[in-house]
Amino acid sequence: GVVIADNVTLGDRVVLHPGVFLGDGVTLGSDVEIHANVSILRRCVIGSRVTIQAGSVIGSDGFGYTRDGDRHMKIAHTGIVQIDDDVEIGACNTIDRGKFDKTWIKTGVKTDNLIHIAHNVTVGENTIIVAQAAVAGSVTIGRNVILAGQAGISGHLNIGDNAIIGPQAGIAKSVAAGDIVSGTPGMPHKLWLKTSSLITRLPDLNRKIKEMEKKLAELESRLGKNGSDDHRHQ
């Protein structure tokens, strides 16, 4: 059930499992293993010693539309996905092609299952992306970065080398090299630890504030009444 379209180039010792689709002009290096039901679409380039786990789609169109009145008109994506050497792509990843140039997964990157990488993204060398993380369009991720599970990166940001993005973090601004960021919105990890420890205490703190407000109002009322009695006595 493997389908190989026109002008495909395969290196040495390539293994294609059942249901694999290679589109027109796809290039695979040597010692590549493509697991069942993977689609690698037109003109995408895969390096050597790459493994792509079952069900992934490489080179789908990016999510790009422009408004025409009340309609959303599709923007053609004419770029590619380039995956360099020694990369492993997990199961059911979706990596969109670039709008004009390429979405680029550099050497040594490892992705877990259920990862989405949008158009024009660059992922630097030896970066790790953990399950269910998503990267919006035109993001640049440096080398040796860790994106923990379910992290979300907004579009057009830069994530510096050796940065760590914590689980379920929502990143809305760029992250400097070496920073550790957690939470939504993303903040320094130590600050997030302090903030998250307060969350479970908020109901109790809210109750205490209401009690203090009530006592303050009663005190102000008594002081106001005493002041009025003193004025009448004078």
Q: What amino acid positions are annotated as catalytic residues? A: 119
21: number of Cβ within 10 Å:
18
Please name every residue paired with 180 in a beta bridge, in sequence order, or none if there are none. Answer: 164
In sequence order, which residues have a C-beta less than 8 Å from that of residue 67 and are 6 or more positions away? 73
Can the peptide bond before residue 185 be classed as cis, meaning omega within 30 degrees of 0?
yes
Q: Which of 39, 44, 52 is nearest to 78 (CA)?
A: 44
Pairing of strands 27-28, 45-46: parallel
User: Quick check: 38 and 75 in contact, CB under 8 A?
Assistant: no
- B/e letters for 35-73, b = 16+ CB within 10 Å, e = fewer, are bebbbbbbbbbbbbbbbbbbbbbbbbbbebeeeeeeeee
Rg of the chain on CA atoms, in Å = 27
User: Quick check: 53 and 113 in contact, CB under 8 A?
Assistant: yes
